Structure 1
Amino acid sequence: MSFGKLFSVPLEILEEIFLNLPPHQVVRNCRLVCHQWKEVADSESLWRERCRREGYCPHDASKMPKDWRLFLFLCRKRRNLLKNPRGEDEMKNWQILENGGDKWQAEGIHVPHPNETVQKNFVTSYGMCRKSQLINLEAEGYNPSFMDLFQPDIKISDWYAPRWDCGSEYEICVELLNQRKKPIQKFAPETVYFEQWNDQKWNQMTYVFQNYGPGVRYIRFIHGGKDTQFWAGWYGIHVTDSCVEICHI
């Protein structure tokens, strides 16, 4: 029996077999066996069905992915690249840039957060407090060629809230950096100020980097603030649930 006949099976059966294998094996091994296997392994129908079975679907039904295989792998890999975003491990994983007043502190939240799983936050004091994390994209599984070719959306978000009885300010700066850690693109909105006797509600800052060009290798996330009345203790801005995600295209 020839090699071609040995591996010749109906396409629908071959597709079902591939749907029950780990997707990385389909890409790395199965598609190399023969022309027929490669055709099925590269087919749109295979990866579209895989996405359906795993529950991955575009938020906007009018905008279908151009590459369902890429869509699947990005969805599977998607996660918060920031470590300890809520202060559950105190200040672990954060680099303190400024530690004014009575310094940064991690404590329980004062008012309920929209996400009920968030129970801790970072709190600033009466001197400027800033902290940062540097994300190495290659170490997180996003290699340089992938970033340069596809330039997937990079979504950042941050939750911040004042104390009701004290004025405060909040600031954030997120930079996309090249191999030398020089900025390629930056998000740095104006400082947000809160007056004393405010409603103390949680606010979300969000931004999506798009079409940023080749060369992005790192992401630097910086945020912080202080109280504006110089009260001893921790009456400054509260921050929590910070997030940096590589999103599907």
Structure 2
Amino acid sequence: MTNLLPEITEIWHQTLNWQPTVQQQAQFQRLYELILEGNRQLNLTRITDPQEFWEKHLWDSLRGIAPQGQFIPSLTDGTSVIDIGTGAGFPGVPVIITAPNCTITLMDSTRKKITFIEKILTELALTNTKTLVDRAEQIGQHPQYRQSYDIALIRAVGVASVCAEYTLPLLKLGGLAVIYRGNWAEDETIALQNAVNQLGGVIESIEKFTTPLSHSIRHCVYLRKVAATPVEFPRATGIPAQKPL
């Protein structure tokens, strides 16, 4: 018996002004099945219930790229996106299913996870995708990747200022970093402000919202790159997390 994801068209519509096509719904369903299979070998996610998976992995991934409940307009026209620390493929895989015209790089430091993601991309026939086994501190200093992306997604691991140091060096001027968070406190805004000032960014907005099924509070932080990031950032591997800006 296959676990079926809910098809909650009206919630998609109310919250994101969008709904998946039949093909996209089928891709979401297959993604879910592949994650359940992969979970047996790799510890990918604790979220396996269909409703919870829909909300915390699919809906949450897409809510991040829809500030004010509308998808970022440039996603439709070949925007270059990087998902830093993609893990089991979130938010990156739902984003590429939803916006197949953008080019997305799924990056993680764990080779096994990237191998698994490559299998998903093949199974779901998702083309416009690249994978990368590396760390944000390394690629942020690499000429091939630095200042190369329009949008950087990071489902926040660690402190927001660390996420800023991972994302902003990779963005083109005018690019947008999206930091996915659970809770958010005012003192985090102050610390983040200090970090983005040093990294060539500004805090464009901090959105607080409620998830549609479990009604839990989430936040997304949007950073805009307004100046070149100084060459010393990102600092060497491990330093941003040990000594946040």
Which TM-score applies when normalising by structure 1? 0.24
**Which of these two proteins has the greater Rg computed from alpha carbons?**
1
Q: Which has the higher helix share?
A: 2
* Larger strand share, 1 or 2: 1
Q: Looking at both structures, which has the greater relative contact order when contacts are Cα pairs under 8 Å and sequence separation is at least 6?
A: 1
